Amino acid sequence: MIALDSSSLIAYLSGSKGADVDAVEFALREKQAVLAPVVLSELLSDPKLSPATAGVFKELPCLPLLEGYWERVGYLRSEVIRGGRKAPLDLK
């Protein structure tokens, strides 16, 4: 199971290149791709999103919200930030 990030999925759909795009392609090809609920919300919030693309997003499995989900999000985000990477939560 590979949880896709919205920016990497958007880059994949736009034809961009990179390690993250390769990972998205692999996850989709191997039927390992899943979306976190917040990522699905972010993707569907684009007012310019076509119904066809929205349908593709909605067909991907979504991770269930189990007890402690947001706590795990916070701890994971902390590790990402500690590693010198950005990890915004804003949904614009």
Domain boundaries, the chain: 2-64
Which pLDDT score, from 0 to 100, does residue 65 have? 87
- Cα–Cα distances (Å) from 19 to 56, 59, 73, in that order, read 22, 24, 23
- How big is the chain by its Cα radius of gyration, in Å? 14
pLDDT (tens digit per residue) in 8-48: 999 999 999 999 999 999 999 999 999 998 899 889 989 99
Instruction: Identify whether the C-beta of residue 11 lies closer than 8 Å to the C-beta of residue 31.
Output: no
pLDDT (tens digit per residue) in 52-91: 999 989 999 999 888 998 898 899 889 999 999 888 776 5
